[in-house]
Amino acid sequence: MQGTAAVAEILKREGVEFIACFPHNDLIEACAKVGIRPIVCRQERVGIAIADGFARTTNGQRIGVFVMQHGPGAENAFPGVAQAFTDNVPLLVLPAGEASSRQGIKPVFNACDNYAHITKWRTFVTHPDRIAAAMRHAFYRLRTGKSGPVLVEIALDALGGELKRPLDYAPVSGSQFAPPVDDIKQAVQALLDAEAPVIYAGQGVLFAQASAELVELAERLDCPVLTTMPGKSAFPEQHPLSIGASAITKPEHMMHFLNAADLVFGIGTSFTRTLYGTNVPGGKRLIQATNSEEDINKDYVVEQALIGDARLCLKAMNAELAERGIQRGPGPRAEDAKARKAAFLARWKPELESDEVPINQFRIVHELMQRLDPAKTIITHDAGTPREQLISFWEAPAPRSYLGWGKTTQLGFGLGAVMGAKLAEPDKLCVNIMGDSAIGMVGMDIETAVRNGIGILTIVFNNGIMAIETNALTEAQSQYGANNQGGDYAALAEALGAWGRRVERPDDFGPALTAAIEQTEQGRPAVLDCVVKAGYIWPGKGDPE
């Protein structure tokens, strides 16, 4: 068996459904021969985002794979893998490598060396007989512990060489571990003793498929729950104990509870200080449950650490509370949270129902909430103001009904991510909201969705400017128009084979949305080019610190 055939057979046995890829690697042809569909993108970063969005949507239970060329392909793929690494997404990256005899010769680009800081684990394979061992360990690492990209770079001579013995490979399972019982008891007691605890839930809850256990814990304690941006949807946001999620914006009802908290229990979160999320105010006691010791005492002083799988941790905590007969809620804290959230939404009603022309972006988000079934929808956003305008007002009722991302915020990620989501959940409406700059970076890959029959809906907030940079480029803008960007994105969509419509008045959005959804149901991507306000407004002030 040739090396390429061995890799393809291993991917098939591991249940890989498709490979995102570009532009040349003999693995693409080998995978096609064994029935693994190749999704050829227009650029590497979008292809990785497709695999990334697929992995996020399936909570890492179905592995996303990206295959690229040696040399320039591996060079161009770097930022996409960096995005997955910062968001801890299990992603298998398979670059071809220069021949073994060429290693160490400049300017040969060795992905294994250069990806050292943006992968969970990596290896370089020099011989066909090492392929099975490398792939076996790669899949184990993908399914065990803290998630992240894994890279297996295989030299061209190993891909083209022949195995000396038959392929010996069976699918690999991962391992889970739980915190010690005494640590669980101590954490439960601290939560019971606290006067105003808050649960701070991250993406680890989603990857552990622990949302039901999180709901049970919150209800037993009558404890408000906020989520990180990547963790949004880990807790059902219609629940009275939900106080929402955050990016740069900080909804005031959420911040009320966080500022008043005497104990913050982080579950499935790295507690990373970031501009693109909610940092914990000073003076709080912290308990942190995470599956990686790397997260502990990193940015905050942690009073107690619980190291282990989020689901196993929550199950143990709920069992301890049940043994003690604790069932406090939903109760007074839930009622308080529900009332404060309602007051927040009432204050924003003029924006959400605005008849302004150009269209107020919040009106579009509100219409989406009114017209779509969030339980049958997966929605994401791009970086910048679309993220801030969506995150506080889209209520995610179920895990991964919202696809959050962004400790780093690369413009253009959302388009590939939502394609991956649609490949994972073909029966759901998959929506991406992006701005002028984001579609400018990756808009040609709308054709990738067309060519592959991936019926996604893209909504462009077209205001002719990079709105989030308005305050940073005042002189450059006034003198040179440096911040102006724009275009007819509906026409672009049509030119690439998608369905497109330009929307200029708020009352026209609803009918256009209905027409666009009909197109996606037929497997045709649709683009709504919405002419929106040039200014930007956010639903909250800055970070508490």
Does 135 share its domain with 87? yes
Does 12 share its domain with 72? yes
Per-residue confidence (pLDDT) for residue 16, from 0 to 100 = 98
| Strands of 161-210, DSSP E | 197-201
Domain finish residue from 289, 308, 340: 340
Per-residue confidence (pLDDT) for residue 403, from 0 to 100 = 97
In a domain, 170, yes or no: no
In a domain, 498, yes or no: yes
Tokens describing residue 12: 């098939």
Does 481 share its domain with 384? yes
Closest to 316 (Cα-Cα) out of 200, 178, 175, 190: 178
Closest to 17 (Cα-Cα) out of 82, 63, 77: 63
Does 516 share its domain with 384? yes
Does 315 share its domain with 359? no
Per-residue confidence (pLDDT) for residue 27, from 0 to 100 = 98
In a domain, 228, yes or no: yes
CA angle, 141 then 147 then 150, to 5°: 50
Cα separation of 44 and 418, whole Å?
16
HSE-CB at 134 with a 13 A cutoff on CA atoms is 25
In a domain, 522, yes or no: yes
In a domain, 222, yes or no: yes
Find the CATH number of the domain harbouring 216: 3.40.50.1220
In a domain, 174, yes or no: no
Find the CATH number of the domain harbouring 59: 3.40.50.970
Query: Chunked in runs of 10, what are the mean pLDDT values of the chain (545 residues)?
Result: 98 98 95 98 98 97 96 95 96 95 86 96 97 98 97 97 96 96 98 98 97 98 97 97 93 96 97 91 96 96 98 98 96 98 96 96 97 97 92 96 89 97 98 95 98 98 85 89 90 98 98 98 98 74 39
Per-residue confidence (pLDDT) for residue 536, from 0 to 100 = 59
In a domain, 486, yes or no: yes
Tokens describing residue 51: 């695999």
Does 201 share its domain with 308? yes
Q: Is 522:503 a contact under the CB 8 Å cutoff?
A: no
Does 295 share its domain with 404? no
Does 367 share its domain with 269? no
Give the length of the chain: 545
In a domain, 168, yes or no: no
Per-residue confidence (pLDDT) for residue 525, from 0 to 100 = 98
> What domain range includes position 106?
3-160
Does 118 share its domain with 141? yes
Domain finish residue from 295, 320, 340: 340
- Which residues touch 372 (CB under 8 Å, ≥6 apart)? 429, 431
Q: Is 416:48 a contact under the CB 8 Å cutoff?
A: yes
Find residue 121's DSSP bridge partners.
150
| Number of domains forming the structure of the chain | 3
Domain finish residue from 296, 321, 340: 340
Does 443 share its domain with 461? yes
- Which residue type sits at 494? E
Does 387 share its domain with 356? yes
Cα separation of 285 and 287, whole Å?
7
| Strands of 406-542, DSSP E | 429-435, 457-462, 499-503, 526-531, 540-541
Does 230 share its domain with 325? yes
